[in-house]
Amino acid sequence: MSDVIRIPSREEAERLLEEGLAANPGKWGDHCRNAARSAEAIGEAAGLDKDRCYVSGLLHDIGRRFGNLQLGHVYYGWKYMQELGYPAIARICLTHSFALQEKRGYGGAFDLSEEQIEEMFNELASIDYDDYDRLIQLCDNISGASGIMRMEDRLADIISRYPNYPDDKRVLTMRLIDYFNEKTGSDIYELSCSGKTVDHY
């Protein structure tokens, strides 16, 4: 990756999210806003760029603008951010669903063509995860539509909807809590403002 990371401004990212919600309204917008706020707080405490963390969290699910997709939202978000010239955000769109960095790491429907699936997983396999990838994986899994929630509750809800969710992915995702607790020297739930259980997204 280039030393100069091009990302949208906060204002542009908010505009892109609003356009996405106009195209496909839903609770995913509030989920993304909560992930963004959480990512900013945890990321800044971990020594990361807070604007990049915020924008990454806000746009990680931008592929949902293209419809009620499962794996498709990962692919289309990745391609959309590439087309707009934001490769770092495109990467987040790709990696956020894959704490387990392989095809079986996705428990939902593979609602893409074989060519798209091959393209996506070839790219995923080429990536060495950094703390921005890990941070958005964390914040995606503690952010509900109404606020921050315990990861155990969020994962239980996801697994109830996607019974093929791999257990080793669950374990890897849970480990992100200890990883960022250590990186920040704080409790990630306190950094995210609360650890309350909220309505499931």
Does residue 58 lie within any of the structural domains? yes
CATH number at residue 74: 1.10.3210
Residue 86 CA to residue 93 CA, distance in Å, equals 11
pLDDT at 24: 98
pLDDT at residue 196 above 70? no
Q: What is the CA radius of gyration of the chain?
A: 15
Is residue 199 pLDDT above 80, yes or no? no
User: Has residue 116 been placed in a domain?
Assistant: yes
Residue 70 lies in a domain: yes
Is 3 within the bounds of a domain? no
CB 28 within 8 A of CB 64: yes
pLDDT of 161 above 50: yes
Tokens matching residue 2: 């280039």
Mean per-residue pLDDT, 117-123? 97
pLDDT of residue 3: 58
Could you read off the pLDDT of 69-114 as tens digits, one per residue? 999 999 999 999 999 999 999 999 999 999 999 999 898 899 999 9
| Within a domain: 197 | no
| Mean local confidence (pLDDT), 165-171 | 91
Mean pLDDT (whole number) for 41-47:
96
Distance CA 22, CA 24 (A): 6
| Burial group, residue 159, by CB count within 10 angstroms (0-12, 13-18, 19+) | middle
Burial classification of residue 95, based on how many CB atoms lie within 10 Å of its CB (0-12 exposed, 13-18 middle, 19 or more buried): buried
Number of domains in the chain: 1
Domain that holds residue 124: 10-191
Q: What are 48-62's pLDDT values in tens digits? A: 999 999 999 999 999
On whether residue 199 sits in a domain, the answer given is no
pLDDT at 18 over 80: yes
**Residue 200 resides in a domain:** no
113 occurs within a structural domain: yes
Encoded tokens for 126: 């080429």
